[in-house]
Amino acid sequence: MRSVARLTAALAVSLLALVGLAGPALAHNQLISSNPADKAVVDAGPGTVELTFDQPVQAGANLNSIVVLGPDGKGQWQDGKAAVRSNVVSVPVRPLGPAGEYRVGYRILSADGHSVSGELKFTLTTAGNGTPAPADATATAAGQTGGGDDGGLPVWVWIVGAVVLLGAGILLAVRVGGSAP
């Protein structure tokens, strides 16, 4: 009887540990601030777009990108590749042109190895005299950002793991319970 109670307690602790540790292990970077801020209204274009995340971002060639799209949705205004400093990712921005809503799309490699992407917007109220990047420069940058979050284990893996763990616990309990006097 004691062994069944111990086994049940051990299984409960194991299951709680599995569930409790799954959250931090799958925690992707989250954007905590940006400059310009999301939905900001600015009189002059920023010289840089800077994104701050809650954890360090993995650095490396072509791992992270920031694309700044103009009001027409086509012209790209970033001027170079994204740079990483711990949890801050930034890109220089060309002098902006027409007034209107600019979209900043980003894709970074999270601290846990999964990519995280998103978008924010800001509105330029006073037109500038800048021009977007040449078409050949924008072709490579356009393919670097994407929508959504493609990281983490699928739910079915957790379900199968829980079923296997539960089945092993039941089998062990039956075996131990069957041999008791």
**Predicted pLDDT at 112:** 84
**Predicted pLDDT at 109:** 93
Q: What is the pTM of this model?
A: 0.64
**Predicted pLDDT at 23:** 47
**Predicted pLDDT at 144:** 44
Domain that holds residue 84: 31-142
Low-confidence ranges of the chain (pLDDT < 50): 22-25, 138-151
**Predicted pLDDT at 82:** 96
User: Do 169 and 83 reside in the same domain of the chain?
Assistant: no
CATH of the domain at 67: 2.60.40.1220
**Predicted pLDDT at 86:** 94
3-class SS letters over the chain:
CHHHHHHHHHHHHHHHHHHHHHHHHCCCCCEEEEECCCCEEECCCCCEEEEEECCCCCCCCCCCEEEEECCCCCCECECCCCEEECCEEEEEECCCCCCEEEEEEEEEECCCCCEEEEEEEEEECCCCCCCCCCHHHHHHHHCCCCCCECCCCCHHHHHHHHHHHHHHHHHHHHHHHHCCC
- Counting the structural domains of the chain, the total is 2
User: Do 171 and 93 reside in the same domain of the chain?
Assistant: no
